[in-house]
Chain A
């Protein structure tokens, strides 16, 4: 096998068994790697009746085929399985240095099952895999634990770990890498915690990789790196980070305010944008391994009450989730929120969104002082959020901490109130892009995403902005954001492209410069696949369908491809004032184009046959319409 190593590690923490497995090469051709290959493994081996936190539950770490190949944006990794937050398929992408290191060790991924008898860690040093006790790291924040692990395993070791939130079973706990990069979404930190697994530490001994056409790849890599690094969007991201264009988002109505009750807060454009972050708090720029874009921030806030020492800074999602969404314009507070969330190991999107929901519930009287333990929740009270609420959630302390640690959907269900004003789909809190202002197509792909509301499941956000364009396959739509026109057709291509991005573990920012012929050349030179554009897109559709098939096994249907009433209400304020999308209309057309049965939400047999999913077809004949 070329490109991928073909090998994964299977670890059962209960029995302490460690086995190296070679996966069928065909699986790579069909499902690429990353979240696609993880879905294939999960579909083959998963027990769909399990509680997401049961010891037998699978936790999958999976690389893409380009990890470590010195190409900008190509070295992210996936974490996948049944989401503890949503109870169905989930996957999450993580940047940084872990995926390349794992590949240099000779592995494409690891599948962890079982529950360790004591706090443990998995050490992968070269090809040697060991299970070690980790009591000394348990209970520690990710910053301190990362430092201690580097002291123990060498400063060039790379780890994925949980913080106290994962240990305590917070449903939106994440997995943190190097203190700053997160496999943020879907709550896999809780699953890792339930397994008594504090960290996975990798350290390679060599950097050898076999490519199908090493010389051809080198030429392609040089060209792509040049184009990616020189692109205007890349220089904007490098200069001012992922919040660089928050200003444009504010004016278009894409930035949600106070739990999605408003689409416009003009002062946020100046107060929270990336340029302001650069001017006030930036000390350094950084990025994932081999990425010339370097969109990540290192910041320091000197002034109280939100002073933070130099360290990882907030990305756009965190700035909005702990900014306008909570009724705050305090950029320093977002820096502190980012740092605390990363150290505790919670997803900033779900955490901010759940707190925003709680603030509105308190304002409405749905949450009382009795529920909050006497704490008053007011928009913009960032001292209460950061000093009281966030620590309570991380520790699941008191009635309120325990309730909010379940995420917004479950909290509303338990409270028996407020489900209509959660902002989520399939239980995953919505990211900080509001389709009423940002673009109606995003509402469609939010609803269609297998893991729940997700802006990185596919590039629809960029497509509607006009930043993606594929003339080679006739994809030349000129889309009006606030219109349903052509959105289903664009989404059909977008979900296939997104499935490829997430399976190849390619960063969306870098992918903006990668054309379809570039993609084909990448797969050819690295893995030896002789794909044409149709075969390439078919791989994307296949992966998109597979995740829906998995969700079908969890009982999800077409009804679940939906957004909450809050997200579907007319937009309020600015450009998005009164904006209202017709999700049903876009959905019906999307199902038609994608050959998905509207009732079951499953791909039809014809759709599966088109994608060459003969094996899935045989297994699922009884279930597919």
Chain B
């Protein structure tokens, strides 16, 4: 892995991001509209990890490891590409076309979220700074 020392570091940063998103009223609401259980499987290369976010029925819960049920959508990619994508440095369409991201399930929710990625990136940078991971920010 290029950006992560180990998978735990990736889990800390990305679950930190989901917590940050919850605190943003607009993004938090947008996430709830997705109304899906999404599993991010970050085991495409190197030591893997998995993070899930559950926005079904007005919920907003997230965690690492096994999701609480069958996911509506699974996105499989490396933890490094996940980092780049949350920093808005990876064009998701291009990554899907080039098979860097594999998607299984309904992508309707993702389409709703895609325009918000810029805002997510701002929160992610902030979270990385707060976690003392500023060196991981890619400009």
Contacts and interface: CB of A to CB of B under 8 A. Distances in A.
Interface in A230-264: 232, 235-236, 239-240, 244-245, 247-248, 250-252
A546 B107 CA distance: 41
A184 to B, nearest CB: 25
A240 B108 contact: yes
Interface stretch (A120-128, A197-205, A354-362, A460-468): A460-468
A244 B112 CA distance: 10
Given A466-B94, A466-B97, A467-B93, A247 B107 contact: no
B70 interface: no
**Nearest 7 CB-CB pairings of A with B:** A466-B94, A251-B115, A466-B93, A466-B91, A232-B103, A465-B93, A469-B97
28 contacts: A232-B96, A232-B107, A235-B107, A239-B108, A240-B108, A244-B111, A245-B111, A247-B111, A248-B111, A250-B115, A251-B114, A251-B115, A252-B115, A269-B115, A275-B111, A275-B112, A466-B91, A466-B93, A466-B94, A466-B95, A466-B97, A467-B93, A467-B97, A468-B97, A469-B94, A469-B98, A478-B91, A478-B94
Contacts of A467: 93-94, 97
B91 A239 contact: no
Contacts of A250: 115
Nearest to B102: A232
Contacts of B112: 247, 275
Contacts of A252: 115
Nearest to B91: A466
Interface class of chain A by DSSP: helix
B108 A275 contact: yes
Interface in B64-84: none
Interface class of chain B by DSSP: helix
Contacts of A239: 106, 108
Contacts of B106: 235, 239
A247 B94 contact: no
A570 B39 CA distance: 41
A240 B103 CA distance: 17
Interface string A404-420: 00000000000000000
Nearest to A278: B108
B82 to A, nearest CB: 17
Contacts of B114: 247-248, 251
B107 A236 contact: yes
Contacts of B103: 232
A108 B20 CA distance: 60
B72 to A, nearest CB: 12
Interface in B91-135: 91, 93-98, 103, 106-108, 111-112, 114-115
Interface string A330-348: 0000000000000000000
A247 B115 contact: yes
B131 to A, nearest CB: 29
A490 to B, nearest CB: 13
A247 B113 CA distance: 9
Contacts of B94: 465-467, 469, 478
Contacts of A235: 106-107
B98 to A, nearest CB: 6
Given A251-B114, A466-B97, 15 more contacts: A232-B96, A235-B106, A236-B107, A239-B108, A245-B111, A247-B114, A248-B114, A250-B115, A252-B115, A275-B112, A465-B94, A466-B93, A467-B94, A467-B97, A469-B98
B136 to A, nearest CB: 22
Interface string A31-59: 00000000000000000000000000000
Contacts of A465: 93-94
B84 to A, nearest CB: 13
Contacts of B96: 232
Contacts of B115: 247-248, 250-252, 269
Contacts of B98: 469
B48 to A, nearest CB: 21
A441 to B, nearest CB: 14
Contacts of A236: 107-108, 111
A8 B67 CA distance: 59
A597 B24 CA distance: 56
A235 B111 CA distance: 12
Interface string A448-487: 0000000000000000011111000000001000000000
A30 B15 CA distance: 57
B18 to A, nearest CB: 22
Interface string A93-123: 0000000000000000000000000000000
Interface in B1-17: none
A512 to B, nearest CB: 8
A247 B24 CA distance: 21
A478 B94 CA distance: 8
A251 B119 CA distance: 12
A274 to B, nearest CB: 9
A244 B106 CA distance: 12
Contacts of A247: 111-112, 114-115
Nearest to A236: B107
A32 B35 CA distance: 47
A465 B98 CA distance: 12
Nearest to B116: A251
A247 B34 CA distance: 13
B95 to A, nearest CB: 8
A232 B98 CA distance: 12
Contacts of B95: 466
Contacts of A248: 111, 114-115
A481 to B, nearest CB: 10
A467 B96 CA distance: 8
Contacts of B108: 236, 239-240, 244, 275
A244 B94 CA distance: 18
Contacts of A269: 115
